[in-house]
Amino acid sequence: MKRSLAVGAALAAALAWGATRADVPSEVPGVAPAPPLSPHWVFLTDAAFFHLTEGKIVVVDGDQGKVVAKLSTGYLANSLISPDGKRLYVAETFWSRGTRGERTDVVTVYDMTTFLPVAEVRLPGRFLAVTQPYNMGLSADGRFLFLFNMTPATSVVVVDIEAGTVVGEISTPGCALVLPGKDKFVMPCGDGTFLQVTLDAAGRETSRGRTPKPVFDVDADPVSERPATTGTGYAFTTYGGMVHEVNLSGGDPVYAAPWSLTSAEEAAAGWRPGGWEQVAYSPHTNELFVSMHQGGPGTHELPGPEIWVYSLADKKKVRVIKPVEPVISIAVSRDDKPIVAAITETLALSVMDAASGAETVNLPGLLELGLVLETP
């Protein structure tokens, strides 16, 4: 250590002399602040299938095509951005010795101006599965975080993220995932019904109910577990190509009659939705974007060579986007100049103009198993 101090002093002397004739000014190394959140930022959650205990969240500026930050996560993390854009919530799992030892489940709260963790809430458990968005949800006011759990008994953990406390764990036998609405959440169940759980202002269950009969036929044509979040609730695609919309904007949830993504001819040609996050919604245009491919039963995760765009008002296809290569997951920004962000089958991030479909950014090599896309 003595040596390094001596060196430092000598260096400072050398620099003081050198600085007088420098063309490039001296710089003080530091840490860059995060740029202000843009509606065109894309958050990619990479489960890193070959190193599951060191996952990543890659934040990309979808306009500039540049990495904003890369955050390491624990095992099979989920993340959500707070409604005010000031916080990033990451649910993650660690073991005290990497892949063994004591298990710890937490929600880590990041400050979006520094991307540093500022708080942590310990969880009683969380669902461990290939990362998908509806493992975790946030109440509309941003106060409660809901985390699906499976042990394999199923439940929802309610966290008061403002207070930093776990409110409780709500048993939800036979039902999975968590889709928040106003003062409640709903969950699809194994028999095709939906469970709804209503909460009070403290996040505690006040009542629950199941739809009196199945909303969809779980054997013939199940809904995908990764719907789009629409202006009023959720739009689920089915394996076969129907859309089930759930309206959670009022009191009791309203389950609309399903409509078809395909004409009889298109269906006969095998067109159906596929991929991971296969459907996304643009609030600005009230359009639904669906990753479509031609295939049969069991192809519900095949990447889509086309993205079909529907007017949600008319339930009609309005245009087709042809991405540069088939897409696994898609997300659409919520602003008035929407972009489509897609993870392609080669795990590149492709950003397209939502209106024209023209690709504006293509970033290969970012991801190992980047399955989940979010925009603020």
Partner 1 sequence: MSLIDGWFEKSARGVARRVSRRSAMARLGQFLVGAALVPVLPIDRAPRAETAADPGDPTQCDYWRYCGFDGFLCTCCGGSVSHCPPGTSVSNVTWIGTCLNPADNKNYIISYNDCCGQGSCGLCLCNTNQGETPVYRPQLNNDIVWCFGATNMSYHCTIGAVLGTA
Which partner in a copy of itself, partner 1, none is near 9 (CB below 5 to 8 A by kind)?
partner 1
Of 10-49, binders to partner 1 (CB under 8 A) are 10-12, 14-16, 18-19, 21-34, 49
For residue 365, the surrounding DSSP H or E stretch is none
> Residue 186: beta bridge partners?
179, 196
Return the amino acid letter for 146.
F
- The CA distance from 144 to 246, in Å, is 21
DSSP 8-state code for residue 225: S
Q: Does 167 participate in binding a copy of itself (rule CB under 8 A)?
A: no
Which of 298, 294, 301, 297 is CA-nearest to residue 275? 301
Q: Which residue stretch of 61-69, 78-86, 243-251, 311-319 sits at the interface with partner 1 (rule: CB under 8 A)?
A: 61-69
Q: Does 147 participate in binding partner 1 (rule CB under 8 A)?
A: no
Which of 246, 286, 237, 293 is CA-nearest to residue 269? 293
CB of 94 vs a copy of itself, minimal distance in Å = 6
Closer residue to a copy of itself, CB minimum distance, 153 or 318: 153
How far does CA 76 lie from the centroid of its chain? 13
Which partner in a copy of itself, partner 1, none is near 8 (CB below 5 to 8 A by kind)?
partner 1
CB of 34 vs partner 1, minimal distance in Å = 4
Q: Which residue stretch of 98-106, 219-227, 240-248, 355-363 sits at the interface with a copy of itself (rule: CB under 8 A)?
A: 98-106
- The CA distance from 38 to 312, in Å, is 26
Closer residue to partner 1, CB minimum distance, 167 or 194: 194
- The CA distance from 373 to 330, in Å, is 7
For residue 8, the surrounding DSSP H or E stretch is helix 2-18
Q: Does 264 participate in binding partner 1 (rule CB under 8 A)?
A: no
Q: Does 122 participate in binding partner 1 (rule CB under 8 A)?
A: no
Per-residue contact track with a copy of itself, 58 to 77, x per CB under 8 A?
--------------xxx---
- The CA distance from 307 to 260, in Å, is 15
Closer residue to a copy of itself, CB minimum distance, 46 or 277: 46
- Could you tell me the maximum CA-CA distance found in the chain, to the nearest angstrom? 83
Q: Which of 64, 104, 247, 299 binds a copy of itself (CB under 8 A)?
A: 104
CA geometry: angle at 94 spanning 146 and 184, to 5°?
5
- The CA distance from 148 to 165, in Å, is 16
Q: Does 1 participate in binding a copy of itself (rule CB under 8 A)?
A: yes
Which partner in a copy of itself, partner 1, none is near 213 (CB below 5 to 8 A by kind)?
none
Closer residue to a copy of itself, CB minimum distance, 100 or 316: 100
Count interface residues toward partner 1 (CB under 8 A): 96
Return the amino acid letter for 327.
V
Q: Does 51 participate in binding a copy of itself (rule CB under 8 A)?
A: yes
Q: Which residue stretch of 43-51, 176-184, 213-221, 264-272 sits at the interface with a copy of itself (rule: CB under 8 A)?
A: 43-51
Which partner in a copy of itself, partner 1, none is near 318 (CB below 5 to 8 A by kind)?
none
Q: Does 257 participate in binding partner 1 (rule CB under 8 A)?
A: no
Q: Which of 37, 43, 45, 53 binds partner 1 (CB under 8 A)?
A: 53
Question: Which residues make Cβ contacts (< 8 Å) with residue 172, sequence separation at least 6?
Answer: 154, 155, 156, 187, 195, 197
Q: Which of 117, 295, 305, 357 binds a copy of itself (CB under 8 A)?
A: 117
276 Ramachandran zone, left/alpha/beta (phi>0; psi -120 to 50) = alpha
Closer residue to a copy of itself, CB minimum distance, 73 or 229: 73
DSSP 8-state code for residue 368: S
- Cα end-to-end distance, the chain, whole Å: 47
CB of 2 vs a copy of itself, minimal distance in Å = 9
334: tokens are 């919520």
